[in-house]
Amino acid sequence: MEIFSPSRRETAAPSDPFDTSIKHLLEKVFKENNHDGPVALAFKEAEITSITKFLSLDKDDINELEFTNSEGSAKKLSLMTRKKLKGAVAWGKAEPSGPMTRVRWASVNTEDILAAITQEQPSNEDDFCSVQSGLTSTASQINLVDAFKKSIKKDSKAFPDLTNDHKWETFKQKLHVEARVQGLESVLDPDFMSEDVANQCLFEEQTKFMASVFEKILQTTKSKVLLCKQKMSGNAQQLCADLVKVDEDPVTKEMTRKELKDKLEAHTIPANWSKSLESWILSWEHKVQDLEDALGTALPDS
């Protein structure tokens, strides 16, 4: 039977080669709204741009998919990601192709794909233990999520606010410290990918919480633009990666260092200063700390 072929209207612009159905898969199942995550990159490298091409993949094809990370290294997709892709192929082939194919992919969701995975026989490449514990243990999923909800009192107010882009380094350090305390450090790791269903459910719960945290603590114009970009998907992991990319751009970092250095050198006691000398020294120390954080090293004594 011929698989539904997308119309010209369904095909994206050259800069974004994916058809509408592939976009639904990337966005709703893999939370890659910007089409620049591991799955989208692997699809682009393998020229999988239409749902027709995707549904023609077999398990071996999916196991061979890889993407080039930010460091220029080729990486295989995680085991759980590959399982989801196999489940998506099975789900897509479960109904006859035809005029309703595009409508059906518009409704695709993670639950449908996970259900399709559990009905699939494990391939030779799959580890039986991970299949047994990761794919069939609903209790494990519930236990991990419940443990996250109950074991640590999550407090969004404990996270630092980003009110000044020049204070990015200080903010980042405090953000990571608090994330570790609350068991959320994996959300801040752009390369983290869960390897089984149970941990994927936990990670999605953690991501939801961090998305709500970022909405409260990101207060600069630059960070709010990035927040708005990810608001619909709630992809806190990608948002954090975007923040790092923007604020740690070499040109941006050099400009920040220069502005902080200029402010420190211009920080003198004004003639109309009415507060204590201790207050002025404290404000001066804060500026020194901001510059040292931006430089990544202590300033010389002289």
What 3-state DSSP class applies to 175?
helix
What 3-state DSSP class applies to 66?
strand
Please check the confidence at residue 246 and state whether its pLDDT lies above 90: no
User: 11-32 as b/e, with b when 16 or more CB fall inside 10 Å?
Assistant: eeeeeebbbbbbbbbbbbbbbb
What average pLDDT does range 232-243 have in this prediction? 85
User: What pLDDT shows up at residue 120?
Assistant: 59
User: What pLDDT shows up at residue 252?
Assistant: 64
Cα gap 97→87, rounded to integer Å: 17
Q: Record the tokens describing residue 281, joined without a space.
A: 């020294």
What 3-state DSSP class applies to 201?
helix
At 1-44, the pLDDT tens digits run 444 444 444 444 446 789 999 999 998 888 888 888 889 999 99
- The whole-model pTM stands at 0.48
User: What pLDDT shows up at residue 96?
Assistant: 74
Query: What are the residue ranges spanned by the domains of the chain?
Result: 8-136, 146-248, 251-295
Helix axes 197-217, 128-135, angle to 10 degrees: 60
Give the bridge partners for 218, in sequence order: 162
What average pLDDT does range 46-59 have in this prediction? 93
Contact 168, 162 (CB under 8 A): yes
- Surface-to-core class of residue 297, CB atoms within 10 Å of its CB (0-12 exposed, 13-18 middle, 19+ buried): exposed
3-state helix, strand, coil in the chain (%, to 5): 60, 5, 35
User: What pLDDT shows up at residue 250?
Assistant: 67
What average pLDDT does range 226-253 have in this prediction? 80
Band of residue 119 on the pLDDT scale cut at 50, 70, 90? low
The count of other CB atoms within 10 Å of the CB of residue 150 is: 8
Mean pLDDT, the chain, whole residue set: 78
What average pLDDT does range 227-233 have in this prediction? 80
What average pLDDT does range 243-264 have in this prediction? 73
